[in-house]
């Protein structure tokens, strides 16, 4: 199991030449998503952020009898500023990858027809669908509930290590463990929590929102950087003054 990345894969055949499909895909990924594009031998890679997780999409294009087969391999970093992704809740990233292929089809149609209608962009249409709003609301509810459950489990593990009485809650009711076994299980839970926190802390420090490539900057980090620059400039002035005297 890859503990750093979660992998997703999809492919689709487009009825157009390889060069045209590649250009349409590059336009969509760069302009609609705002991701950074890097060319490769068989296509290109796109890097950006999706649902607060850094992601790398590798797109490859192959000429076939029906046109051009486009394959998308998406690698999403499990550690993000919202938490650690053990699994794809609600199939979010599979849905996003399918929307990208729809977007490539839309961009291809725009190029071949010579039109430019952003209202028909699959990403714009998806944002305006009531089902999409309901899905995102349910997804947020699941994330919040999972966070609360994780917090309760963490507190129970701390109590279990101290007292030797571990209470675990689940759908089938609560499970109570006593004695040395309770302390061992509690310690394992705490070690797993520390591992998750370590993965989040030492992941890429850039934090983006959605697929737009927007980066959130921590005010304390900015203040710290400003203080460092100020101290460095003061040191330069003192050094220059000493050299002049």
| pLDDT tens digits, 138-155 | 767 777 887 788 888 888
Classify burial at 7, counting beta carbons within 10 Å of its beta carbon; exposed 0-12, middle 13-18, buried 19 or more.
exposed
pLDDT at 82: 63
What pLDDT score was predicted for residue 130? 59
Of the listed ranges 42-46, 83-87, 109-113, the one predicted with least confidence = 83-87
Q: Band the pLDDT of 119: cuts 50, 70, 90.
A: low
Lowest mean pLDDT among 108-117, 154-163, 223-232: 223-232
**Confidence check: pLDDT of 110 > 60:** yes
> What is the fold of 5-127?
TATA-Binding Protein (3.30.310)
> What is the pLDDT, as a whole number, of residue 213?
36
| pLDDT at residue 209 is higher than 50 | no
* Tokens at 194, concatenated: 């520390």
- Condensed to tens digits (0 to 9), the pLDDT of residues 67-90 reads 999 999 999 888 776 666 777 777
User: pLDDT-derived band of residue 29, with 50, 70 and 90 as boundaries?
Assistant: confident
pLDDT of 45 reads 93
51: three-class secondary structure by DSSP = coil
At residue 20, the pLDDT reads 92
Q: Can you tell me the distance from the alpha carbon of 202 to that of 121, in angstroms, rounded to the nearest whole number?
A: 36
| pLDDT attached to residue 118 | 61
Least trusted range by pLDDT, from 12-21, 80-89, 204-213: 204-213
30-35 contacts at long range (C-beta below 8 A, 24 or more positions apart): 32/103, 32/107, 32/121, 32/123, 33/100, 33/123, 33/211, 33/212, 33/213, 34/211, 34/212, 34/213, 35/211, 35/213
What tens digit of pLDDT does each residue of 87-103 get?
777 788 888 888 889 88
For the chain, what percent of residues have pLDDT higher than 70?
Answer: 68
Which has more confidence, 137 or 129? 137
Delimit the CATH 3.30.310.50 region(s) of the chain: 5-127
Tokens of 26: 């590059």
Sign of the C-alpha dihedral computed for residues 184, 188, 193 and 195 taken in this order: positive
Q: Which of 63-67, 112-116, 137-141 has the highest mean pLDDT?
A: 63-67
Q: Among the residues of the chain, which ranges form H helices?
A: 18-27, 92-113, 122-128, 130-163, 179-201, 219-244
């Amino acid at each position: 199991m890859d503990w750093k990345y979660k992998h997703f894969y999809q492919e689709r055949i487009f009825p157009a030449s390889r060069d045209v499909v590649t250009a349409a895909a590059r336009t969509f990924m760069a302009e609609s998503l705002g991701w950074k594009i890097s060319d490769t031998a068989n296509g290109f890679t796109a890097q950006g952020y999706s649902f607060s997780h850094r992601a790398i999409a590798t797109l490859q294009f192959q000429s076939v009898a029906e046109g051009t087969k486009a394959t998308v391999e998406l690698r999403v970093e499990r550690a993000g500023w919202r938490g650690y992704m053990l699994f794809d809740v609600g199939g979010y990233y599979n849905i996003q990858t399918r929307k990208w292929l729809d977007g490539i089809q839309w961009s291809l149609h725009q190029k071949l027809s010579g039109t430019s209608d952003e209202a028909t962009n699959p990403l714009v249409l998806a944002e305006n669908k009531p089902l999409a709003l309901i899905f995102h609301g349910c997804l947020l509810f699941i994330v919040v509930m999972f966070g609360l459950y994780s917090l309760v489990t963490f507190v129970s593990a701390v109590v279990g290590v101290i007292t030797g009485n571990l209470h675990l809650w689940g759908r089938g009711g609560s499970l109570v463990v006593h004695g040395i076994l309770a302390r061992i299980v509690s310690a394992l839970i705490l070690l797993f929590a520390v591992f998750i926190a370590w993965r989040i802390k030492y992941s890429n420090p850039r934090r983006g929102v959605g697929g737009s490539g927007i980066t959130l900057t921590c005010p304390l980090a900015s203040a710290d950087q400003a203080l460092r620059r100020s101290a460095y400039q003061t040191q330069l002035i003192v050094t220059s003054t000493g050299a002049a005297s």
